[in-house]
């Protein structure tokens, strides 16, 4: 087995909760419980779970943005320890993250160009920054004139494209999307997903996509990790997962995918069969 | 950081085509708002009056003519004279000097204290920040008037007492506001995104945090300047501020107040000057705060993706 790009073992994270009694120790809520994750280079992994399942916390720990209470993360064999910016620059050069809400993830006081150029400045990337910014604007489908605009002048979809541009401008090997579509409306969601898929195909960069919507990632991810209450309940190739979900929670998530009434075909009540039927783009699933 | 500068220049063209002047953009935006224009005009007049009074006043301040007491306004004495025949206009002109100086110095002191304590207490680890927060809270508990009285009883009343008392009193209040604003900003997504982009905490402070505190700061500091003018007048009135031979607006008001039953009109002039100036400074602060916020500028959101 070759070396994983990210190897996380026994990740546990406790959030302190406001104490209600003075003499007992402050209680803690377990957000992550002994999570092991392995991500290979160039792989597309979806991390699925409902709100509060710890999926955002997990990816933030993987990127050294939050501290785990216990457990270790290694990136390409090197330990990821949260700390001063300088000590993590090597990791930042190789990763990028797109956050959920494009309305709050862009500094309202900075122009689009300044926002996108930020990783280039912070990571001391060499070369012509202006050109890199223009290239990445082309790449995400925004016109170059947008570099002078402020975030409030853009629509939600355009803002998310700016956030993606910021995450990829320095050419990372791994892009993390922390629910990058959930704050957008449906049509724009599809175009953003398409953009991410294109980026993955063109550059071969790995992709971790956090989502609560299994349906959204099924045509897209190689592998799915299902989180529930801070623990991994199921993990595996996306097709296998849809064919034979092992955990009842996964079955529940598959049931929750809204789908159009089956066109013409027999109305089987097996949800996985139904799921397979509308999978035009994954003929390998049967 | 040269690349950053080059970038900053290269991103401007779309905007600077519209207007290329020596006046900074935020100032011209302030001017275009009615309350901003009003504030700028009045504050400029006060500053000009303070500057002029350094060299010239219509009458020497201490020249008394007891036979010319309580003269009504005339071309010679624009605002009339006081009980011993001193020219009220000259006193108000010279008074602007003291008042402007105290207001500016107190605001500057408050800004230094507020920004420094606020930023430090918001940036340090909670364990280290706690003593600062507690100290600030303790000082906040003392009203400006009480601080001024404490200082005046120890060092004697003077303009310096006003400066220090207002500076400290307003400074600790500002520190609390700045701290809570920075805490809010630090929890925002764009700070997390900036962290993920690899920025250090100091560069985040300069590039994201402080620019986002600036509009609030403009408003708060203008309020402080207004309060400082009122405090100077009030403390001088109570005898903790300017001495009887020092021209200040509070001095003029305090002197006139004694004779309010004899010459009620004489109280009006310093009152109008003080009120108008404080109003203008507050309006100016509001306008600058608005001008500093790109979200409040015209240039609408585009539709579609």
Can you give the pTM of this predicted structure? 0.83
The one-digit pLDDT tens for each residue of chain A (286 residues) are: 567 899 999 999 998 888 777 787 778 888 999 999 999 999 999 999 888 888 999 999 999 999 999 999 999 999 999 989 999 999 999 999 999 999 899 999 999 999 999 999 999 999 899 999 999 999 999 999 999 999 999 999 999 999 999 999 999 999 999 999 888 888 888 888 889 989 999 999 999 999 888 887 887 889 999 999 999 999 989 888 888 888 898 888 888 887 766 554 444 444 444 444 444 444 444 3
Q: Which two tokens stand for residue B119?
A: 């930023």
B68 falls within a domain = no
- Mean pLDDT over each residue of chain B, to the nearest integer: 86
Q: Which residues in B lie closer than 8 A to residue A84 (C-beta atoms)?
A: 200-201
Find the helix packing angle between B25-32 and B265-291, rounded to 10°.
130
Please report the ipTM that was assigned to this predicted complex: 0.86
User: What residues have CB less than 8 Å from B31, skipping those under 6 apart?
Assistant: B23, B37, B40
Q: Do β-strands A206-211 and A78-79 pair in parallel, antiparallel, or remain unpaired?
A: unpaired
Q: Which of B49, B164, B159, B166 is nearest to B97 (CA)?
A: B49
Q: How far apart are CA A2 and CA B151, in angstroms?
A: 74
B103 falls within a domain = yes
Q: What is the pLDDT of residue A265?
A: 46
Q: In the structure, what pLDDT confidence band is assigned to residue B242 with cuts at 50, 70 and 90?
A: confident
B189 falls within a domain = yes
Contact, A207 vs A174, CB < 8 A?
yes
Q: What is the pLDDT of residue B17?
A: 42
B98 falls within a domain = yes
Contact, A31 vs A15, CB < 8 A?
yes
Q: Which of B70, B59, B63 is nearest to B265 (CA)?
A: B70
| DSSP H or E run through A250 | helix A248-255
* B87 to chain A, closest Cα gap in Å: 50
Res B211 pLDDT > 90: yes
Angle at B175 between CA B31 and CA B135, to 5 degrees: 165
Q: How far apart are CA A44 and CA B106, in angstroms?
A: 59
Chain B: residues touching A (Cβ < 8 Å): 1, 3-4, 6-8, 10-15, 188-190, 192-201, 203, 207-208, 211-212, 293-295, 299-305
In terms of residue numbers, what domain contains B91? Answer: 2-59+87-299
Q: Which residue of A has its CA nearest to B298?
A: A153
pLDDT winner (highest mean) among B22-26, B120-124, B292-296: B120-124
Q: In the structure, what pLDDT confidence band is assigned to residue B298 with cuts at 50, 70 and 90?
A: low
Q: What is the pLDDT of residue B80?
A: 85
CATH of the domain at B121: 1.10.3720.10
Q: In the structure, what pLDDT confidence band is assigned to residue B38 with cuts at 50, 70 and 90?
A: very high
Q: Are the beta carbons of B295 and A150 separated by less than 8 Å? A: yes
Q: How far apart are CA B242 and CA B238, in angstroms?
A: 10
* A11 to chain B, closest Cα gap in Å: 20
Q: Which two tokens stand for residue B91?
A: 């006193």
Bridge partners, residue A42, by sequence:
none
B174 falls within a domain = yes
**Residue scoring higher pLDDT (B165 or A255):** B165
Residue A12: strand, helix, or coil? strand
What does the pLDDT average to over B101-128? Answer: 94
How many domains does chain B contain in total? Answer: 1
B79 falls within a domain = no
Q: Which residues in A lie closer than 8 A to residue B293 (C-beta atoms)?
A: 108-109
* A220 to chain B, closest Cα gap in Å: 22
Q: Which of A44, A12, A3 is nearest to A224 (CA)?
A: A44
Q: Which residue of B has its CA nearest to A90?
A: B198
Contact, A161 vs A192, CB < 8 A?
yes
B50 falls within a domain = yes
Q: What is the pLDDT of residue B63?
A: 81
Q: What is the CA radius of gyration of chain B?
A: 23
B126 falls within a domain = yes
Q: Which two tokens stand for residue B269?
A: 């002039």
């Amino acid at each position: 087995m070759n070396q994983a790009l990210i190897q996380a073992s026994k990740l546990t994270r406790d959030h302190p909760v406001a104490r209600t009694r003075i003499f007992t120790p402050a209680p803690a809520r377990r957000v992550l419980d002994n999570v092991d994750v392995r991500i290979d280079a160039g792989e597309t992994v979806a991390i699925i779970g409902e709100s509060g399942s710890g999926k955002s916390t997990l990816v933030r720990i993987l990127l050294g943005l939050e501290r785990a209470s216990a457990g270790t993360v290694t990136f390409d064999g090197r330990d990821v320890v949260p700390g001063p910016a300088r000590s993590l620059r090597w990791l930042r050069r190789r990763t990028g993250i797109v956050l959920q809400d494009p309305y709050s993830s862009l500094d309202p006081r900075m122009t689009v160009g300044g926002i996108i150029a930020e990783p280039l400045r912070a990571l001391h990337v060499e070369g012509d920054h202006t050109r890199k910014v223009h290239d990445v604007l082309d790449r995400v489908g925004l016109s170059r004139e947008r570099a002078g605009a402020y975030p409030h002048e853009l629509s939600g979809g355009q803002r998310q494209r700016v956030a993606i541009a910021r995450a990829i401008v320095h050419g990372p090997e791994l892009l993390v999307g922390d629910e990058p579509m959930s704050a957008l409306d449906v049509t724009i969601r599809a175009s953003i997903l398409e953009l991410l898929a294109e980026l993955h195909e063109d550059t071969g960069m790995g992709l971790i996509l956090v989502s609560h919507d299994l349906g959204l990632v099924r045509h897209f991810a190689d592998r799915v990790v299902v989180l529930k209450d801070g623990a991994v309940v199921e993990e595996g190739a996306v097709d296998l997962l849809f064919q034979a979900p092992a955990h009842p929670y996964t079955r529940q998530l598959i049931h929750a995918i809204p789908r159009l009434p089956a066109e013409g075909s027999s109305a089987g009540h097996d949800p996985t069969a139904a799921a397979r039927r509308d999978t035009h783009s994954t003929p390998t699933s049967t | 950081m040269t690349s950053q500068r080059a970038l900053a220049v290269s991103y401007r063209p779309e905007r600077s085509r519209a207007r290329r002047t020596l006046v900074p953009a935020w100032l011209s935006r302030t001017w275009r708002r009615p309350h901003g224009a009003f504030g700028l005009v009045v504050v400029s007049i006060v500053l000009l009056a303070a500057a002029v009074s350094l060299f010239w006043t219509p009458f020497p301040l201490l020249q008394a003519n007891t036979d010319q007491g309580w003269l009504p306004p005339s071309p010679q004495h624009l605002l009339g004279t006081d009980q011993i025949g001193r020219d009220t206009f000259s006193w108000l002109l010279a008074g602007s000097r003291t008042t402007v100086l105290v207001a500016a110095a107190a605001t500057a002191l408050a800004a230094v204290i507020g920004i420094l304590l606020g930023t430090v207490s918001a940036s340090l680890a909670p364990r280290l920040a706690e003593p600062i927060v507690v100290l600030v809270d303790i000082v906040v508990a003392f009203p400006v008037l009480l601080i001024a009285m404490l200082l005046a009883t120890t060092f004697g009343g003077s303009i310096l007492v006003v400066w220090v008392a207002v500076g400290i009193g307003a400074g600790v209040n500002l520190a609390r506001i700045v701290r809570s604003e920075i805490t809010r900003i630090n929890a925002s997504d764009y700070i997390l995104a900036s962290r993920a982009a690899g920025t250090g905490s100091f560069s985040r402070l300069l590039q994201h945090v402080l620019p986002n505190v600036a509009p609030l700061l403009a408003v708060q500091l203008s309020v402080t300047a207004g309060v400082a003018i009122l405090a100077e007048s009030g403390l001088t009135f109570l005898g903790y501020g300017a001495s009887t031979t020092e021209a200040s607006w509070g001095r003029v008001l305090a002197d006139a107040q004694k004779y309010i039953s004899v010459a009620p009109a004489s109280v009006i002039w310093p009152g109008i000057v003080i009120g108008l100036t404080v109003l203008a400074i507050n309006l100016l602060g509001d306008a600058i705060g608005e001008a500093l916020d790109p979200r409040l500028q015209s240039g609408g959101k585009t539709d579609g993706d």
